[in-house]
Amino acid sequence: MLQVEWPWVLMLLPLPLAVYFGLPARSSNHEAALRVPFIDDFKLSQSESRRSINIRWIRWLGMLAWCLAVVAASRPQWLGDPLSINISGRDMMIAVDLSDSMRTTDFKINGKLVDRLTATKSVAAKFIQNRKGDRLGLILFGSQAYLQTPLTFDTSTIEQLLLESAIGLAGERTAIGDAIGLALKRLIDSDRDNKVLVLITDGANTAGEVTPIKAAQLAAERGLKIYTIGIGADAQLRATWFGLRKIDPSSQLDEKMLRDIADLTGGRYFRARETEDLENIYALLDQLEPVSSEAQLLRPISALFFWPLAMALGLAAFICLYRTRAVLV
């Protein structure tokens, strides 16, 4: 179905005619007539007659370009078929740690070692795709917390922005308390009963103005439930030049703090030691607190203004080139 968003703009279509007939004609000098016995010699040549016809065509093309420009300005749109979307009634923010420690390569994807952020992206992207009916938001945090995407049903955009995130983008340290505070700020005005924050980190709070426990207490008072995910492999023995050596890549992970945050807000703490753990955690989060709600009908809208606009610009360019060539000739 075709519709016009601003139909009142179409009232500008007769504007050139109004200007043409409304403004006074250009004055011409009236001089005495001169009789010429050989008047046939002054008749227009064939080439001049053809030029006169071309000028009339150029005027018509100019009118067509004007009409196309006005149609483009009226914002024509195509309404697609109605789509039924099940709304879960859940608002969910996802906070992802981008601190320097996320560079640690202790996760595997298809047998290949990858850093923690890459593993998080790989699994979280699938989780986001399954969040049909939820309003999602994305927070990226390091030394500071940033709102990357406000609450929206557009999960494709959130997935894309998550995949484009990079380690160090928000600083090298970890401000967990600020991330919780920012999520609370964005969710506090929500009219939904189910407000959830999924917090993903591999370290301890080393930056920020608000302590994580204080932020969690405020979140609990306002009904925000926090699910925390601590990522990082367990201690392991690795062969070195000096023999076997015990390495703990998760020595900086503050599991007690993450568990306290979840307990204070009625959520849960999860530990992800490998990619499979992350997949299982997200599968479990998929099933948490389902809230049924009536389906809503939405109609996709596709903008069409660029088609008449492109044709109008093309005609305008052709007219300019023609007039320039005519002047040079």
pLDDT in tens, 178-199: 999 999 998 887 767 678 899 9
Structural contact between residues 89 and 194, judged by C-beta atoms closer than 8 angstroms? yes
pLDDT digits (tens, 9 = 90+) for 248-264: 556 678 889 999 999 99
- Which pLDDT score is estimated for 220? 92
* pLDDT score at 245: 57
105's CB contacts (< 8 A; 6+ apart) are: 113, 114, 115, 116
- Provide the pLDDT for residue 324: 79
- What average pLDDT score do residues 152-170 get? 88
At residue 215, the pLDDT reads: 92
Is-contact 283 33, C-beta < 8 A?
no
Sign, Cα dihedral of 120, 121, 126, 130? positive
Q: What is the dihedral of CA 253, 259, 283, 196, to 10 degrees?
A: -110
pLDDT in the model for residue 191 = 67
pLDDT at 293: 52
Helix (H, G, I), strand (E, B) or coil at 52: helix
Burial of 75 (0-12, 13-18, 19+ CB in 10 A): middle
- Banded pLDDT at 40 (limits 50, 70, 90): low
Going by DSSP bridges, is the β-strand pair 145-152/135-141 parallel, antiparallel, or unpaired? antiparallel
CA dihedral 273, 278, 279, 284 (to 10 degrees): 120
pTM: 0.64
Instruction: Count CA within 13 A, CB hemisphere, residue 199.
Output: 40
pLDDT the model gives residue 101: 85
- Specify the pLDDT at position 129: 81
In this prediction, residues 45-66 reach a mean pLDDT of 72
What is the pLDDT at residue 123? 84
Work out the angle at residue 261's Cα, subtended by the Cα atoms of residues 256 and 265, and round it to the nearest 5 degrees: 145
pLDDT for residue 43: 53
Phi, psi of 267 (to 5 degrees): -95, -155
For tokens 């370009």, what's the residue?
A: 65
- Which pLDDT score is estimated for 249? 58
Q: How confident is the model at residue 30 (pLDDT cuts 50, 70, 90)?
A: low
Q: How many CB atoms lie within 10 A of CB 152?
A: 13
Helix (H) / strand (E) element for 277: namely: helix 275-287
Domains observed in the chain: 1-15+47-81+299-329 (no CATH), 86-294 (3.40.50.410)
